[in-house]
Chain A
Amino acid sequence: MDLFIINVIDGLIYGLLLFMLSSGLTLIFSMMGVLNLSHAAFYMLGAYLAYQISVYTGFWVGLIVAPILVTILGAAVERYGLRRVHQYGHVPELIFTFGLFFVIEELVQYIWGRSMVNYNSPESLDFIAFNLAGGSIPAYKVFMLLVSVGIFLALYYVLARTRVGMIIQAALSYPKTVEALGHNVPLVFMGVFGVGTGLAGLAGVIAGPSLTTFPGMAFLLGSIVFVCVVVGGLGSLFGAFVASLLIGWLQTFAASYNIGAADILIAFGYEYPKDVYYHPWRDLWTLTLPQIGPILPYILLILVLVFRPNGLFGKRET
């Protein structure tokens, strides 16, 4: 039971981190109707920029400055890249972001090298926040949790309660009408793309010290973010929130319970082989839930697409 509670907390922290990534992605999709395949690359860029800044000025400056830099870069990409490609339709846009992913990833490796970098949490957060069931929750994890919740609330407030949010929401569904009313829709697009990538950057900044800043980080998290967005329903912020938490818990729980194929086989009356390492069915006998854990989100993705193509909370056709 204690392990259960601690897993709920771990999964929540991980899920909220996923949400920070998927919220930006889903916002951009709502706006432009295009999946930003380079999203995870901005996440990686955020982590590396924050690392570089933290070398000179410490963690806290990096926390503020790096996401701003990523936001500016994202906005510039929209303004000078995506906007030009936009006129040729969605497929060229998709290919543009696909290419951008590799360009950013290679560029990061070119600048910072191919081994992991030493990006650590600040010393002021290097203590244990509380103990639970013999395990401890470090203060940095609590900090991650607070930042994620703060971002969610801020995002919700801006979109639902402010004039800017109203314009964004209107531009989502009726861009032409909004433009006719005198609003600068391209500027809104640029802003949303910038903020969306900035959120990815912020996710990278706070995830970097915890999940390690290394060249494979974008690839590792990239695909799972798309799963969050599709399962939640493309374009639905609330859907992305629910799906992110769901996948966070799914992965955490799958990794922490060693339910194995052996248990099931024994339950069906088969006998555990004596020398399992040389047994022809070794791979089946030793298969456990943690081993298949990482593919569970993709199974969920397929099931959702088959039975509920719009995603859990999606309103529009994809």
Chain B
Amino acid sequence: MKLFNKIASFVLATGVFFSSSVFADTIKIAFIDPLSGPFATTGTIGLAEWKYAVEKLVNEKGGVLGGKKMEVVALDNKMDGKESLVQVQVAIDQGIRFIAQGNSSGIANAITDMVKKHNKRNPDKQVIFLNYSAVDPALTNDKCQFWHFRFDANADIKMDVITDVIAGESGIKKMYLIGQDYSFGKAVAAAAEKYLAQKTSIEIVGNELHPIGRVKDFTPYARKILASGADAVITGNWGADMVNLGRSLKESGFDGPVYCYYCATAGITRTFGETGKGMLNIVGEGKLNPMNPALEAYNKGLKAKYPEADMSQPRITNAVQMVAKAINEAGSATDMKAIAYALEGMEFENELLQTKVVMRTSDHQAIQDVHVGMHTDDVDIDFDNSGYGIKMYKTVKMASMDSPTTCKMKRP
């Protein structure tokens, strides 16, 4: 099987190499995320967003370096750590210098290690890791490194914003924390405990982790949450675990708010539908609702080209434009050190989202406006073509701008 995988990736690599050599002049970004298997939906939507952003925001505006086009090359990592590293190697062997990945912090941790080692050993073929979604705080703290750039707000920043909102809700006296039993779930719980204690006098009546993707019926959890007298719930759950938890809570008669990280798009918004109204409060960057005319046109274009996709990760438009800007500033698409230095500390004004983004120098964490929104049908831009979407009601400008980091960056 291993041999087969190797042969398959070799054949794929050569195939892609020969077919893409026709466009030898394009600057390529390798998109490495799940495009098959149970997580394919998220990966496929992300790919569509990358492709459309590159097309619309860079190539149609004249490209970079006076006319060079950019291109996204899709590589499927099947949501598997080992496979991801194989695909990074495939990308490097093809001469691709930008690696974009986002789904799963575990995989991002593996990639950042590999990129760090590779760049040390191959100073002539260095690559930059564009992390557009993995939010484990460690990536910009203990594990930070020069070649990694995170465009999403990390789990701590998001929790900082959520707890700002919660602190303003006088009705919330008791909080229940529940999450999936792995690094991200634990990070969310730890951050929630910390910030709730700092900002509020809310009592945490439950703090637990459940096995990820193994709980068949969330009803007993919902009963327990109800019995604990909790007024609200914080969860980092995603996928079916998120939907089942939310539904069970509603069915069991829970009527408080649920604060979540990943309770929208990829089928989740559609499945919740009416049930999610008044319950789901999601934290995220990128304000979609209420929207501006430029964004409306952009979203329409995306929908026309990829009907199943959503602007689920507006930060991708930041990542694409900031990379293009860095290439222009460096005056080269191959001098990765110069590009990385251009990205570092970059202040970028995103006209589409009408926001400012700063790539913080100390840890390569993007600092941007972070919002909390609610699941509702009163939206201009919906998700999953369902009529439901996320309407932002609270914005924290340049969230966690001065937050401390343990990062001790070594620069080449």
Contacts and interface: CB of A to CB of B under 8 A. Distances in A.
B223 A3 contact: yes
Interface string A1-45: 011001100110010000000000000000000000000000000
A291 B209 contact: yes
A288 B181 CA distance: 11
A81 to B, nearest CB: 26
B221 interface: yes
B330 interface: no
Interface string B19-51: 000000000000000000110110000000000
A231 to B, nearest CB: 16
A22 B215 CA distance: 19
A114 B251 contact: no
A263 B190 CA distance: 20
Contacts of B106: none
Interface string B240-259: 10011001000111000000
B217 A116 contact: no
Nearest to B275: A120
B186 interface: yes
A118 B272 CA distance: 8
B270 interface: yes
B334 interface: no
Nearest to B209: A291
A193 interface: no
Contacts of B227: 2-3, 133-135
Given A113-B41, A138-B251, A118 B220 contact: no
Contacts of A214: 239-240, 243, 267
A58 interface: no
Given A116-B268, A128-B253, A135 B223 contact: yes
B252 A136 contact: yes
A216 B266 CA distance: 15
Given A115-B267, A118-B273, A291 B181 contact: yes
Most chain B beta-carbon neighbours within 10 Å: one of A11, A210, A211, A215? A211
A310 interface: no
A113 B309 CA distance: 13
Most chain A beta-carbon neighbours within 10 Å: one of B213, B219, B227, B252? B219
Contacts of B266: 115
B76 to A, nearest CB: 13
B271 interface: yes
Contact of A134 (B220, B243, B253, B386): B253
Nearest to A6: B223
A159 to B, nearest CB: 28
A256 B223 contact: yes
B252 A135 contact: yes
Interface in A70-116: 113-116
B41 A115 contact: yes
Interface string A210-236: 111011100011001000000000000
Interface string B295-325: 0000000000000100000000000000000
B224 interface: yes
Interface stretch (A160-168, A173-181, A247-255, A264-272): A247-255
A258 interface: yes
The interface size bin for chain B is 35 or more
Contacts of A2: 227
A252 B267 contact: no
A284 B128 CA distance: 38
A286 interface: yes
A277 B209 CA distance: 13
A190 B207 CA distance: 51
A118 B224 contact: no
Contacts of B221: 255-256, 290
Given A212-B243, A212-B247, A277-B186, A294 B215 contact: yes
B267 A220 contact: no
Contacts of A138: 251
Interface in A46-81: none
Contacts of B190: 277
Contact of B270 (A10, A118, A210): A118
Contacts of B251: 136, 138, 140-141
B226 A134 contact: yes
A3 B224 contact: yes
B356 interface: no
A302 interface: no
Interface string A234-262: 00000000000000000111011110000
A258 B208 contact: yes
Given A136-B253, A290-B208, A220 B223 contact: no
A131 interface: yes
Interface string A200-218: 0000000000111011100
A149 interface: no
A7 B224 CA distance: 10
B213 A7 contact: no
Contacts of B206: 258
A117 interface: yes
Contact of A252 (B219, B226, B308, B386): B219
Nearest to B193: A277
B240 A116 contact: yes
Contacts of A212: 240, 243-244, 247, 271
Given A224-B216, A290-B210, A7 B223 contact: yes
A286 B209 contact: yes
B94 to A, nearest CB: 27
A210 B186 CA distance: 28
A136 B244 CA distance: 16
B211 A10 contact: no
B223 A221 contact: no
Most chain A beta-carbon neighbours within 10 Å: one of B190, B216, B251? B216
Most chain A beta-carbon neighbours within 10 Å: one of B209, B221, B267, B384? B267
B411 interface: no
Interface string B343-386: 00000000000000000000000000000000000000000101
**Pairs of residues from A and B, 3 with the lowest C-beta to C-beta distance, nearest first:** A115-B267, A136-B253, A255-B220
7 contacts: A134-B227, A136-B251, A212-B240, A216-B240, A220-B213, A251-B216, A258-B224
Given A128-B253, A136-B251, A277-B193, 11 more contacts: A113-B308, A115-B384, A135-B227, A136-B253, A141-B251, A212-B271, A256-B221, A258-B206, A258-B224, A277-B190, A290-B210
